[in-house]
Amino acid sequence: MLKRFLPNEHVQTVFDIKPEHLKEKGMKGIITDLDNTLVAWDQADATPEIIEWFTLMQKHGITVTIISNNNEERVQYFAKPLNIPFISKARKPLGGAFKSALQEMNLEPEEVVVVGDQLLTDVLGGNIANLHTILVVPVVETDGFFTKFNRRVERILLNWMRKKGMISWEEKK
């Protein structure tokens, strides 16, 4: 049961996710979270670095879709200028948004990776949907109201998994 919270990979930032590495694994698509994965949860616009990352993925034929539990106004404001498809109010970790994204991307589960900063939403949802999951360190240490509770639970889970030898990475401060 707790293995559902275990990501397949862990990286510091989305910039550590390289298109060549994804293609070697047969990946053709990325489903990514928005807040604290791509930019700080309270930052409205994409940074030049994130725009460059999206462009790099696109140049390598990797489709990206944003799935966020945030409201449509927030997600649309970020994604629309970049021409990135998105699903807002996704209700992660429930599977509906993941299935919708797969259909929109016209890809199979084994061809898509889920990238996010939370075990309880992104990783759990991706694992339930049988997708490859990559956990990133949150962009900033502050969180929105509801995420603060999730972070406490995540710390307990990560400490337990570390003690059981299920994870080998160390949190960088």
pLDDT at 143: 58
Q: Name the more confident of 139 and 135.
A: 135
Determine what percent of the chain is predicted with pLDDT higher than 70. Answer: 89
The β-bridge partners of 113 are 30, 132
CB 113 within 8 A of CB 37: no
Question: Quick one: CA torsion of 173, 152, 132, 12, rounded to 10 degrees?
Answer: -10
8 by DSSP, 3-state: which?
coil
Selection from 41-45, 79-83, 118-122, 150-154 with the highest mean pLDDT: 79-83
pLDDT at 173: 43
pLDDT at 147: 65
CB 71 within 8 A of CB 88: yes
CA–CA gap between residue 92 and residue 22 (Å, rounded): 23
Whole-angstrom CA distances from 106 to 28, 64, 109, 166 are 10, 12, 10, 33
Tokens, residue 125: 């949802």
pLDDT at 6: 87
CA–CA gap between residue 42 and residue 78 (Å, rounded): 11
pLDDT tens for 56-94 read 999 999 999 999 999 999 999 999 999 999 999 999 999
pLDDT at 2 exceeding the cut of 70: no
Query: What is the third-level CATH fold of 2-139?
Result: Rossmann fold (3.40.50)
The ranges assigned to domains in the chain are: 2-139
DSSP category for residue 125: H
The pTM of this model reads 0.85
pLDDT at 9: 93
DSSP category for residue 166: S
Region 9-21: mean pLDDT is 95
CA–CA gap between residue 46 and residue 14 (Å, rounded): 13
